[in-house]
Structure 1
Amino acid sequence: MSIIEDVKHDYKFKVVLLGEGAVGKSSLVMRYVKNKFTSRHLSTIQASFQTQKIQIDDDEVELNIWDTAGQEKYHALGPIYYRGSNGVLLIFDVTDQRSFEKVKMWVRELRATLGNSAVLMIVGNKIDMENERTVSRETAEEYAKTENAFYSETSAKENIGISTAFETLTEKMIEHNKENARNAPPIANRSIQLIDENERNSSIRTKKAKCC
């Protein structure tokens, strides 16, 4: 699996990051797309957009990544960004129990709005602060299973697990896309009747003769 340049994509997926403010959503995106990290917290205003091209086995994929604001005052804007998404990364801070509860709220909202149309991945960030952890990996994994979501852990600061999280999500989106294609109802068979032009003209002349 590798990041690639200038390719003809087989897939184009919309990915949205949701979560409480200051959990590291923007840091994850910047580390993944540009391999940059800053310890200075910069609040996202509404949303920002990044594009990344990757290759998963023989599939070439363009990820359109939306990083949304975590502040409560922007919560109502969430549906604008996650509607039509193929995958959602729900980020929480492993040292902040409240941010984990916020993820649960987002999961309920997404299931109510999107059903199972999008792949959900819950991500515990800031594992470099293990000694301050308040949400165990086992607890988060168990919750993810109950919601038919996937789970991963990362550290934007130490660049741990970020590529794995995005690539795993992409693999699951590809699988989901292929499964939907397999389960799509077949296009109804349509029959086309070919009419010989000479026979058609002969039939018209016969009808005219009968009228006379």
Structure 2
Amino acid sequence: MSYKVVFLGEGRVGKTSLIYRFTKNIFNEKQPQTVGANSFLHKIKLCGSVSTLDIWDTAGQERHVALGPIYYRDAQGAILVYDICDIDSFIKVKKWVRELHEMVGKSIVIVICGNKIDRERERVVDLGEAEAYAASVGATHFTTSAKSGRNVQEVFATLTREMRIRSSPMSHKSGEEQGLRVGDRKVEEDSSCSC
């Protein structure tokens, strides 16, 4: 199966860095800002089955915001990113959620990422508030670090699993603990595979 996934969030929150950490396992301290949108194809093996993610990296700058609806039309999943050190970037996530629900519908799978947890001491976005907001809109919340790689694989695994479940009403839990393979590396799951 192939799934279209859009990344949304303000400029400089780390969207592109998260994608590069996931697809290439690299991090560039001086990652240039995205202009317009870029698309990345990446395969993820989860519960013994391979899915192709068509990942759309959108620019966060205001002048490109109007193009957003074009990029996320027909998307099955969205990863909304904010910087834990920037309250405005978290507030804007709420705007993206509303826009996604209006344009794509509430069936889209949303994961919200509080990025840059390698700068935890500078945090200004309350974790409890962010988690409560995510739950209120039916999204999953993760804290991530593109720099260290923390939780990046888990974000994509969770998103892929949920997109599979929503696209296949006959899905059921396997009840068996399995590993998942992301790119060329194996990531062990603690919970049961529910693909």
TM range (shorter): 0.7 to 0.9
Shift of 1:161: 0.5
**Are the counterparts in 2 of residues 18 and 70 from structure 1 also a CA contact under 8 Å?**
yes
Are residue 134 (structure 1) and residue 144 (structure 2) matched? no
Q: Which residue pairs with 2:49 in the alignment?
A: 59
RMSD, aligned α-carbons: 1.1
Aligned length: 171
Which structure features the higher share of strand residues?
Answer: 2
One-letter code aligned to 2:119: M
> Which residue, out of 109, 114, 136, partners 2:104?
114
Q: Which residue pairs with 1:153 in the alignment?
A: 143
Higher alpha-carbon Rg = 1
Provide the C-alpha distance between the structure 1 equivalents of 2:49 and 2:27, rounded to a whole number of angstroms: 29
Shift of 1:58: 2.7
Q: Which residue pairs with 1:166 in the alignment?
A: 156
Query: How do 1:1-212 residues align onto structure 2 when only pairs under 5 Å count?
Result: 11-179=1-169
One-letter code aligned to 1:166: F
Shift of 1:59: 2.2
Shift of 1:54: 1.1
Q: Secondary structure at the match of 1:30?
A: helix
Provide the C-alpha distance between the structure 2 equivalents of 1:48 and 1:153, rounded to a whole number of angstroms: 24
**Are the counterparts in 2 of residues 22 and 41 from structure 1 also a CA contact under 8 Å?**
no
Which structure features the higher share of helix residues?
Answer: 1
Q: TM-score, normalised by structure 1?
A: 0.78
Q: Which residue pairs with 2:178 in the alignment?
A: none
Structure 2 gaps of 5+ residues are 172-195
- Which protein has greater RCO, CA pairs closer than 8 Å, 6+ apart? 2
Structure 1 gaps of 5+ residues are 1-10, 183-212
Q: TM-score, normalised by structure 2?
A: 0.85
- How many percent identity over aligned positions? 46
